[in-house]
Structure 1
Amino acid sequence: MSFLFKRNPKTPQELVRAVCESVVKLDSNSDSTKRYQDDCSRYLKQMKGILVGDDENMPQPDQISYLSQEVYVTDCLYLLIYHLKKLDFDARKDVQLIFSNLLRRQIANKSPTVDYLINSKPEIILLLLKGPESQSTGLICGQILRDCIKYDSIVKFILGNSLFWNLFKYVQIPIFELSTDSFITLHDLLTTHKSVVIGFLTSNYDQFVLNVNKLIQSANYVTKRQSIRLLSELVTEKENKEFLTKYFDDPTNLKIIMLILNDKSKNLQIEGFHIFKFFIAKPKKSQKVLDILTKNKENFIAFFKTFDIESYQDPNAIEERNYILQTIQELPDIERIN
Structure 2
Amino acid sequence: MDKLFQRKKSPEQLSKLIKEALENPNTPVKPDKSGKVVDIVTKRLNQIKLLLYGDGEQESNPQKCAQMSMLLIADNMIPRLVLNLEKLPFEARKHVAQIYNNLMRRDLGGFVAYVERQPQMISALVRGYEHSEIALNCGTMLRESIRHEALAKQILHSPDLWKFFDVYVHLPNFDVGSDAFATFKDLLTRHKPLVSQFFESHFDMVFEKYNKLLSSENYVTRRQSLKLLGEILLDRSNFDVMMRYICKRENLKMMMNLLRDTSVNIQFEAFHVFKVFVANPKKPNEITQILLTNKEKLIAYLEKFQNEKEDEQFVEEKSLLIRTLSTLELRQEDDETDGKTATTSH
TM normalised by structure 1 equals 0.89
Identify which of 104, 110, 113 aligns with 2:111: 113
- Give the aligned CA root-mean-square deviation in angstroms: 2.1
CA distance, structure 2, for counterparts of residue 137 and residue 247 of structure 1: 36
2:61 aligns with 60
For the pair shown, which has the larger CA radius of gyration, 1 or 2?
A: 2
**Structure 2: where are the runs of 5+ without partners?**
30-37, 331-346
2:195 counterpart of 1:197 = yes
1:185-234 Cα shifts (integer Å, max 9, x gaps): 00111111112111111111111101111011111111000000000000
Identity rate, percent? 36
Paired position in structure 1 for 2:171: 173
Which of residues 328, 331, 337 is equivalent to 1:331? 328
| Aligned CA distance change for structure 1 residues 275 and 3 (closer, same or farther; 3 Å) | closer
**Among 287, 290, 303, which residue is 1:292 paired with?**
290
In terms of mean alpha carbon deviation, does 138-147 or 120-129 score higher?
A: 120-129
* Counterpart in the other structure of 2:122: 125
Shift of 1:286: 1.6
- Alpha carbons 1:171, 1:180 under 8 Å: kept: yes
- Three-state SS of the structure 1 residue aligned to 2:147 is coil
Q: Are 1:15 and 2:11 counterparts?
A: no
| C-alpha contact 1:17 1:74 (8 A) present in aligned 2 | no
1:317 matched to 2:304? The reply is no
Name the SS for the 2:132 alignment partner.
coil
* Displacement of 1:235: 0.7
Is 1:148 equivalent to 2:156 in the alignment?
no
The alignment of Structure 1 onto Structure 2 pairs a total of residues equal to 322
Alignment-derived partner of residue 163 in structure 1: 160
How far 1:13 moved relative to its partner?
A: 2.8
Q: Give yes or no for contact 1:23–1:83 (8 Å, CA) kept in 2.
A: no
- Rounded to whole Å, the distance in 2 between the matches of 1:322 and 1:270 is 15
Aligned-partner SS, 1:332? coil
- Alignment match, 2:89: 88
The answer to whether the 8 Å contact 2:21/2:27 transfers is: no
Residues 128 and 142, structure 1, Cα contact 8 Å, conserved in 2 = yes
Taking the aligned partners of 1:58 and 1:68, their CA distance within structure 2 comes to: 17
Aligned to 1:336: none
Determine if contact 2:246/2:252 at 8 Å carries over to the other structure: yes
| Separation in structure 1 between the aligned mates of residue 270 and residue 50 of structure 2, nearest angstrom | 49
C-alpha deviation, 1:66, in angstroms: 2.0
- The letter of the residue matching 1:140 is N
Offset, 1:5: 7.5
Mapped partners of 1:307, 1:55: distance in 2: 54
**Equivalent-residue separation in structure 2 for 1:298 and 1:55 (angstroms):** 66
**1:197 to 1:116, Cα distance in 2 relative to 1, 3 A:** same
**Distance (whole Å) between structure 1 residues aligned to residue 60 and residue 262 of structure 2:** 56
Aligned-partner SS, 1:136: helix
TM-score norm. by structure 2 comes to 0.87
The whole-number CA distance in structure 1 between the counterparts of 2:122 and 2:279 is 41
Task: Give, in whole Å, the separation in 1 of the partners of 2:18 and 2:184.
Answer: 32
